[in-house]
Structures are given as C-alpha cells and as structure tokens.
Structure 1
Amino acid sequence: MAEIHMVYVSALLLAFFSQFQNAGLLSSPLVSLLIGTWVARNYQQKMKTGPFLSRVMKLFVYFHLVFTTGITFSYLVKKVVQGDESDFFLKFLEVKFGLNTTTDFITNFLLCQESFQVPGQDLFLRLTQASVLPFYLLVLTVCLLSTLQTIYRRLSGLPMKTNLKLEDGRIGEQPEVIYHVFHTLIFGGLALLFDGMKYLWTPYVCMFTAFGVCSPELWMTVFRWLKLKSIHPVVLSLILSTAVPTIIGFSLWREYCPRVLAELSEVQEFYDPDKVELISWIKSQAPAAAVFAGSPQLLGTVKLCSGATVTSLPLYTDIKLLRRTEDVVYDKGEVYSFSKHGRFCQEIKMNYSPYTNYFTRVFWNRSYHVYKVNSVISFQY
C-alpha cells in the first residue's frame, strides 16, 4: 500500500510542475483521499477482529473517516490557496448532471468542450467489432465476482491462503487483481460520462482483457464454479489461456492487418507549413509584449513552440487561464455578439465594418489569420 501511495504522490508532483505549478492540484480529490487514507490507517486498528457485523461496521467507519478527513483537508486547502473560485469544477459537475443551471461563462465553456461530452456509440461499437468489449466484460465479471467472494471471506473471518496455487481457482484473492478491478470500474464510470476519458480507459480495457484471457487462474476460477470434472480443469485452463488469445489475435490480424498496412502506406510525414509559418512569424515579427488569444489547442502549440504569452491553454483545471478566456469574450459585463453578421471567424476575414473598427489583420496565410486589437477605435461606415 505504501508503494502505491508513493506512485500517486510522485504522479501528482510531476503534474504539479508540468502544469506550471498549478495550485489547484494541491486540493485535488486524489491528494485528499491519500491524506484521509493515511490518517485512517494510523488511527483505526484491529479492523480484522470481531464477528461479521462488527467488521462491516468498522469498514463503514473507516470509509467515513477517510472521506471526512479528505473533504476537510480539501476545504482547508481551497480556502488557503485558491479562494472563492476554487469550486468551479464542482459547479460544472452540478450542471453536467442536471442538478443546477448557471450562466457562468467557465461552466458553459467546459460544457462545450468535446472531451467533457458523453461518448458516442461508435466507441463501444469499435471495441465490440474488435472483440475487445465482450471479452472485457467476461474478464471483469469473473474477477469482480471472485473479488466479492474474497471480501466476504475476509469479513466473515474465514482462513485465507497465503500461497495460492493454480488449482485453487481464486483469482480474486490476488491483491493486484482486486486493485485493478476497482480501478477499471472507476475508469469505466468516468468514460461513460466524459468522452475524453476514452483515451485512458481504452488502453486500460485492452490491458485488463489481455491479462484475463491469458491468465490460467481466471479460467480455473470459472471451472471451479462450474465444478467441471469431465476434463482436468488445470489442463483445460492452461490450454484455453493459450488458445483463446491466439484465436483472437489471428482473427484481428486477418481482419485489420491489410487495412492498417494500406493506411500506413498512404501516410506521409506530418508537416503543417501554415502552422510553421505562423510560429516563425510570432518569433520574428510579433512584439515581445504581445498576448495571443484563440482556441486552447492552438494556443498550446503557440506557447510550446514560441514561448509567447497566451490567454488560455488546454488545462481545464487552471481557473486563471479559464478566466483569461472569459476576458477575451467579455468586456465590462457585455458580450460582443457577431451572430447577426454571420460566423465571426469567417466574417472577420472579409475586413468589413464593424470588424475593422476593432481589429487589424497583421498576419495571414491559407490556414491562420492573426488580428491585432486596435488601441484607437475609429467608426467608419
């Protein structure tokens, strides 16, 4: 357990420094849970003693202590570090789940991001066509049921084996299996809510499925439940742990390999001359004090390649960067709306009034147009 905590702490420190020392990470739920777990483990002892009901009550008290300590720690850190705007993501979740409505710019801005939308059915369709999702559900079901059996045995005070063998058929008693079962359940729940989580959940699904179908312990657990006697279960589990992944791999190779090779043969080296020209112009022609506004994805490239000051970055946990995005749209409480003139990004390229009153084009190529906000506004129609 201590090693897992060290991994989490190291990952948080790495994220803290890579995200420009984002203070919001200090009050993240992961830090709060780590603090709560550490406090609960040190102050609550003898959880494995007593009858079944007593152990269940101790378990509930343990979780209550963990979450209470974590919430208290998070609240105190938010008050000290971030102030009143530290709960913006909580407001976003309330609106996301339909518990509240708001006109707050940041909340609505996050709701418009594709990564925070509900994933489409094409994700699950592709996983099913690749034979990943059916086997994932099989592996998850077996491991989850075996894990629940293990939890029940521990709470009931039944003796636990220290040296597990293949013929025991208890895959749920392996600590790493228990950890990954609950981990994949959390990832899966988040992936059903946020489309951006598919980039973390999909590799995890493939890894977890590969572990299951290649594990003789999983097949042995199933045979123990079925009480198979016609064929020796150990031999059959070893055969299936080799045959099933081989059949899956061959079918995937036969179906997808020609298509992938054809696509790779057509892929050329990625080179965007328009973006390279834009970055070169920023480095050589743009004033050192210039501040660039635009989409967070493009500004992330501008920041990394040129070092120029930008109004926003694709970091949705930084309240200051999100407020910068709001400042681009709002001015003294009023919204600049160009809807009656058509789509702003297209209309401004025509250099028609009233756009020329506010903006002057200083750079353009086939893909990108850069406009400078006029310091002196002239009204000429």
Structure 2
Amino acid sequence: ISSGAADLRQRKKQNCTESEKMAPEQRNKENSKLGRSPKYLLIQRFAKLFFGCLAAVTSGMMYAVYLSTYHERKFWFSSRQELEREITFQGDSAIYYSFYKELLKAPSFERGVYELTHNNKTVSLKTINAVQQMTLYPELIASVLYQASGSEEVIEPVYFYIGIVFGLQGIYVTALFVTSWVMSGTWLAGMLTVAWFIINRTDTTRIDYSIPSRENWALPYFACQVAALTGYLKKNLNCSAEKFCYLLVNASTYTFMMMWEYSHYLLFVQAVSLFLLDSFALAQTEKVHEVYKIYLFSLFLGYLLQFENSALLVSPLLSLSAALMLSKCLQMNMKKGTFISRLLKIMYIYLVLTVAVTLNFLLKMFVPHKENGHLLKFIEVKLGLNTTKNFTMNWLLCQESLQAPSQDFFLRLTQSSLLPFYILVLIICLFSVTQVIFRRICGEPLKEAVKLEDGRIGERPEIVYHVIHTILLGCLAMCLEGMKYLWTPYVCMLAAFGVCSPELWMTLFKWLRLKAVHPILLALILSMAVPTIIGFSLWKEFFPRIMTELTELQEFYDPDTVELMTWIKRQAPVAAVFAGSPQLMAVIKLCTGWMVSSLPLYNDDDLLKRNENIYQIYSKRSAEDIYKILTSYKANFLVIEDSICNEVGPVRGCRVKDLLDIANGHVFCEESDNYAYSKYGRFCHEIKMNYSPYVNYFTRVYWNRSYFVYRINTVISFQS
C-alpha cells in the first residue's frame, strides 16, 4: 500500500510538470494560428481577471451595505436605546448575543472562556459548557477581534457584531459569484447569480429573521469551500492554482465545521455527491480522495477542539470517508480498462456502502453519545414510520421550517424566472451526464480537454458535481422548507452558469443538429444575449421594489416587552430565577442577565424536558402540579404570555395549548382514542382570576397588556 501511495504521488508530480510544460506550448500554437502575440493574450487575461475580481468584490460589498441599510430602516437601530436594540434579537439569537456580551464584560478573555465552559449562571440547577453545547466559536472570534482591534472607542459592540455577520454575507455572495464565474468562464454569470440571490432573498437566507444564527456564520465558509472545490475538480489545472484551491478547501472545510453543529450533515451530502462522481469515473480519483482526507482531518481536529464532541465520531461523514479510504487501499493495484475492473467498480460501490453502514453502526454501539438523538425520532415521525403524542416532537413537526415547502415558494422562484431556467439547465446537464456515463460503461475514455465544438458539458467533473449536489439538496428542500436556504443559493448559481455557458448551448445544439446557423456562433451569441435580456428584465421589474425597501421606513416597537425588562431590572432580586416560554427566557437573559429555568435549545435532552415541563403553565393542570414543577427548578418568578395563552393559530392542533392537551390526553385526538377530560381549567386563564388555590401558590406582582408576572410563594397560605 505504501509503495502504491508513493507511485501515486510520483504520478501526480509528473502530471503537474507535464501539464505545466504542455500548457504554454498549446497556447503558443493557438496564438500563432489566430495571429495574436503572447503579450496581447496576457494583457487580455489580466484585464478579464482584474475586472472579474473587481465585480465579485463589489457585489459582495454592495450586498453587505444593502443588508446594513435594510436592517437600519427596519428597526431604526441607530435611534434606539440599548435595551430596545437587544429586544430585536429573538429566541436562540438572543442567547448567542448574550454570551458575546458576557465575553466582553469579563476581566480577561481567558476568564470569559472559562466562565462559558463552566457556566452555572444561565440555567438554574445546571452547569453547562456553553461553548460546546451552543457552538459559540463565532462569539469567541468576534469578542477577540473587537478587543484586539481597539474598537471599544470607535464602535458599539452590537454594531461590530452585526457588522461581522453582514460582512460574511458579502463573502457568501462573492463566493457564489466566483463559483459561477469559474464554471462558465464569464463573470456575467456571477452578476446574474448575485441578482437572482438578492431578488429571492426571502428564500436564500434567514438573515432578516435571526442575524446571530449559526447558519449565517457558517454558510459563507461553505460557499468558499464549494468555490474552491469547483476549481480543484477542474481538468488541466496548473499546479499553483490546484494547490491554492486545495489549501482553501482545507481551511474553509475546517472553519465551516467549527461554526455550525450541523455542518457535518451538509458535508455528508457533499461527500455523497463526490462519491457518485468518483463511482461513475467522471473525476480524477486522486482528487476526490484528497477531499475525503480533508474531511477526516477536519473531523479529527474538530473532535479535539470541540471538547471531544462525540457527535462527530458517530457522524455519517466519518463513516463514509473512512469506508472510501479503506476501499481505495484495497483497490490501489487493480488494473484498469478490463471487464473485471468494471465489475469490481460495481462491487466497489457495494463495498463502500456496506463498510460505511457497518462502521457507523459499530461507532454508535461503542461511542457514548446523546447528541441529536431527537433528530432520528423526528425523522421517523416525519416519514410516517412512527406516531407520537410527545409535545416536543409534535411542536417541531408544526414548525414552518420543518414543513414541506408551500406553493408560494415555487411561485416566487418562477416569477423571478429562476426556476424555469434552473430546470432547463438541469435537464440539459443531466442528459449530457447520462450520455457520458453510458459511454464510460461501453469503455470509451473521457477526453483530456473538452472543446466548445464537442458539446459535451457532462464530461466536466465540476459541472457533474454541482448537478448531483443540487439534486440532493433539492430532495431535502422538497421535504423540509428550512432546507431551501441551503438549496436556493446554488440554484441561482447553477442557473446563471447554464444560461451564460456557451458549452451548455453547444451541447443542446449538438442534439438538435442545427445546420442553418453555425452552432458555435449561435452558442456564443446566446450565452451573451440571454443573460443580458434576463438582467434587463430583472432590473426593470425588481430594482424599484428593492429601492422601495431601502427608502421605506418601517416601525418595530414592542413597548410591553421593554416595560417588562425594565421592571425586572429595577424590581426583581439579583438572585431571582424566571420561568416561562423558552423564547421569552432567552430575551430576559440577554436584556437583564437574570438566571432562567429554560432556553430555546433543541440539542440537549434535559433542556427539551425542561421546556416541555415549564410549558405546562399553558395546560389544564392544577395549581399544585404547576407549583411543584416550577419549584423543582428553583424558579422565583413566573411570566405568562397572553399571546400564547390566547393564541389563535392558523392551524388548529399546532398551538402550544393544543399540543399540551394532546400530550396530556385532555383532548380527543384519533378515532382509536377516547375522550379524556381534565377537572381543571387552563392554568394561564385560571391564575388571572385571583382565587384559591391559585393565590395560595402565586402572587401577581406585575402585569401589562402582554405579560403577567407572578411571584412563586415560598410560604403557602391556604386562607381563602
């Protein structure tokens, strides 16, 4: 095996040197035929590269400025007080930003990190490693940059924080621009990608709803990794460019894995795409296996630096990567081109899948892990393999992001002309790839260099990879609407590449067998004319809407929440513990710093159980039951939200109180079930009546139109 690996490295070096020697000779021959001097061609390439890079960077910067301006217009951020600004962070976003604040308040960075890894001031009766459990590496980096750059006297912490996120979104757009440019050969495709991305912003990013969410920090790095991988998979790439792409794939893969706890699942989808690409012999096997080495290295390093995160060890990405490397070792000396080798190739696919599944099963058997176990239960219920009355599972199933996409989603993509062109490009690429696979099965080798007149776009490995990748992501997006934020950006990129690529049009004309017009000339004309027409139509229809968004002043003001936070900071004891809905508890933790009994996090079984128990304040349970639940978590104050208690949801059965009634058996659910009545009224309604036994356990201390705050009595009086 070691000798085979040495031979492989030697062949790669020889190929590099040969390609570098042959490339100038080929270019000189072409230039002499066209009557162009090498100096002229060098200036032309430099100008193309310069203006393309300038357009890519400008697009990213303009998008970041656009997001910043839109955010200011939406929330009036600069004219708000600090408390009002912090209220704009909702749910899990509030938790992430609260830990960023704590890091800045710490006497030193080391002390701040220690307090986060041994945190006992956030959730009552629970010490958590917040860095590991909530993936707080973005906050660690942001706090270091803020303090090391001396920005304390220049910019407020909140502006620095959201500025980094908006800057990363600019990098995200730039990476998509570059990917489309590398695939098509023209930066016009990059411009069209950015235009479609911004126009379909509702379906390409969640930056409007939750700025600090992990995906907004992580996906820009994934986009950089995809751009580098696209260049790395290209044929006839010179050694310098190949090394640069390889190093960028390395760095971006590891960074992406550190920024998002679910990153290894998305990388697994990418690994499956590369596995299929390699199985059909459509890419250089050495390059594909180098990427798998990067996966293994990133998983190993991530496991060490994420406090021995066992979720990475039982990840399907690790099992698939290890299975592929093992299969490579077994097949290193296999002869190519024979019938036996093709037969072994089929067995190779079976071997990899069998080893991967077996290895994953063994790892889950011997490696203790609890992370993401609820995801498997959710998938079972989502696919109809199981039914449940569990509150948490049903609550997750009712979330809009975990539903199937609505018709409005497809309508929006069609109105922007994105979906029709994506389907056209995908069909052409799929047919071409199918032809190439059929030729490979028949024993026909791939061409070393595919020319425009060949009309074989399916022989380009980077194109095949993107086709497979978008299909896999699309299948996930058809099941879960939240996955559209991973799929739609690459739909924009692939559609823009297709309409701007002369090779794609040439592939189509090759099938149509055009004779009246020269197909190469027509392909070159359409690759310029079609995107230009699309661009002008998008400009005419959508540019006024975007400008209206930026000029229209929106109003975001929540006086009831501001009053509640102000009362807590002024009246509540410093050692008080608050109980209520997890989303509100996150805001209380951010705005006041007081300890809470639950958080909106769904990767910890104990927190999930806490959330379900504390949500019982909206169920039909007795005052004594609720009192026992709250005191078991050492809660001192209870906050009831009128919006949940009197919720009138669009889908009956998905309201919090409906889900609690189903879980507690207080409603008629299915035909096989029986009626089960509760002799108690709904707690959140009954406690407002101020009669016994509710007043014996709870004393109302504050209320406004939206919130009712009750002190949980330590001494219970049963006097009526």
TM-score range relative to shorter protein: 0.7 to 0.9
**What is the deviation of 1:124?**
0.6
2:258 is matched with 13
1:192 paired with 2:478, answer yes
CA contact (8 A) 1:51 1:156 kept: no
Task: Give the counterpart of 2:407 among 121, 138, 160.
Answer: 121
After superposition, where does 1:56-75 map in structure 2 within 5 Å? 58-66=345-353, 68-70=355-357, 72-73=359-360, 75=362
1:102 is matched with 388
Stretch moving more, 166-175 or 57-66: 57-66
**What is the deviation of 1:105?**
3.6
Structure 1 unpaired stretches of 5+: none
TM-score normalised per structure 2: 0.46
2:320 is matched with 33
1:256 paired with 2:542, answer yes
Question: CA 1:96/1:282 → structure 2, altered by over 3 Å: closer, same or farther?
Answer: same
1:151 is matched with 437
CA contact (8 A) 2:381 2:387 kept: yes
Q: Number of matched residues?
A: 375
Distance 1:66 1:286 in 2: 58
1:174 paired with 2:460, answer yes
**Identity rate, percent:** 51
**What is the deviation of 1:190?**
0.9
Q: What does the per-residue CA deviation read over 1:68-121, in whole Å, with 9 as the maximum and x for residues that have no partner?
A: 3255336524653325x8643222212111112123343223212221111211
Q: What does the per-residue CA deviation read over 1:146-185, in whole Å, with 9 as the maximum and x for residues that have no partner?
A: 2233333334331212222222222222222122111111
Distance 2:343 2:704 in 1: 67
Equivalent AA in structure 2 for residue 118 of structure 1: A
Higher relative contact order (CA 8 A, sep 6+): 2
Distance 1:90 1:107 in 2: 11
**What is the deviation of 1:132?**
1.0
CA contact (8 A) 2:314 2:367 kept: no
Question: CA 1:224/1:105 → structure 2, altered by over 3 Å: closer, same or farther?
Answer: same
SS of 1:81's partner is coil
After superposition, where does 1:35-50 map in structure 2 within 5 Å? 35-45=322-332, 49-50=336-337
Stretch moving more, 221-230 or 24-33: 24-33
Distance 1:281 1:63 in 2: 64
Equivalent AA in structure 2 for residue 148 of structure 1: T
Question: CA 1:203/1:360 → structure 2, altered by over 3 Å: closer, same or farther?
Answer: farther
**What is the deviation of 1:210?**
1.3
Distance 2:603 2:430 in 1: 33
After superposition, where does 1:218-229 map in structure 2 within 5 Å? 218-229=504-515
**What is the deviation of 1:55?**
2.2
Equivalent AA in structure 1 for residue 325 of structure 2: W
**What is the deviation of 1:250?**
1.7
Question: CA 1:147/1:7 → structure 2, altered by over 3 Å: closer, same or farther?
Answer: farther
Equivalent AA in structure 2 for residue 115 of structure 1: S
CA contact (8 A) 2:578 2:594 kept: yes
Task: Give the counterpart of 1:165 among 451, 454, 457.
Answer: 451
**What is the deviation of 1:359?**
4.5
TM-score normalised per structure 1: 0.80
Distance 2:318 2:563 in 1: 42
Question: CA 1:48/1:263 → structure 2, altered by over 3 Å: closer, same or farther?
Answer: farther
Q: What does the per-residue CA deviation read over 1:4-43, in whole Å, with 9 as the maximum and x for residues that have no partner?
A: 57754542233248xx866545433334333333333333
1:235 is matched with 521
Distance 2:399 2:354 in 1: 30
SS of 2:367's partner is helix
**What is the deviation of 1:335?**
4.6
Task: Give the counterpart of 2:489 among 195, 199, 203.
Answer: 203
Question: CA 1:301/1:237 → structure 2, altered by over 3 Å: closer, same or farther?
Answer: farther
Question: CA 1:128/1:299 → structure 2, altered by over 3 Å: closer, same or farther?
Answer: farther
Equivalent AA in structure 2 for residue 187 of structure 1: L
Distance 1:133 1:175 in 2: 24
Distance 1:177 1:129 in 2: 26
**What is the deviation of 1:264?**
3.0
Question: CA 1:316/1:159 → structure 2, altered by over 3 Å: closer, same or farther?
Answer: same
Distance 2:501 2:319 in 1: 35
Stretch moving more, 1-10 or 182-191: 1-10
CA contact (8 A) 2:310 2:367 kept: no
Question: CA 1:263/1:13 → structure 2, altered by over 3 Å: closer, same or farther?
Answer: closer
CA contact (8 A) 2:316 2:360 kept: no
CA contact (8 A) 1:312 1:325 kept: yes
CA RMSD of aligned residues (A): 3.8
**What is the deviation of 1:280?**
5.6
SS of 2:368's partner is helix
Stretch moving more, 273-282 or 183-192: 273-282
Distance 1:163 1:195 in 2: 40
**What is the deviation of 1:194?**
0.8
Distance 2:705 2:340 in 1: 71
SS of 1:242's partner is helix
Question: CA 1:261/1:76 → structure 2, altered by over 3 Å: closer, same or farther?
Answer: same
SS of 1:161's partner is coil
Question: CA 1:44/1:53 → structure 2, altered by over 3 Å: closer, same or farther?
Answer: closer
Stretch moving more, 72-81 or 252-261: 72-81
Equivalent AA in structure 1 for residue 474 of structure 2: G
Stretch moving more, 366-375 or 227-236: 366-375
Question: CA 1:208/1:92 → structure 2, altered by over 3 Å: closer, same or farther?
Answer: same
Structure label with greater radius of gyration? 2
Question: CA 1:160/1:279 → structure 2, altered by over 3 Å: closer, same or farther?
Answer: farther
Question: CA 1:7/1:264 → structure 2, altered by over 3 Å: closer, same or farther?
Answer: closer
Task: Give the counterpart of 1:140 among 401, 412, 426.
Answer: 426
Structure 2 unpaired stretches of 5+: 1-228, 233-245, 262-301, 617-624, 630-662, 667-677
Distance 1:121 1:275 in 2: 35
**What is the deviation of 1:193?**
0.8
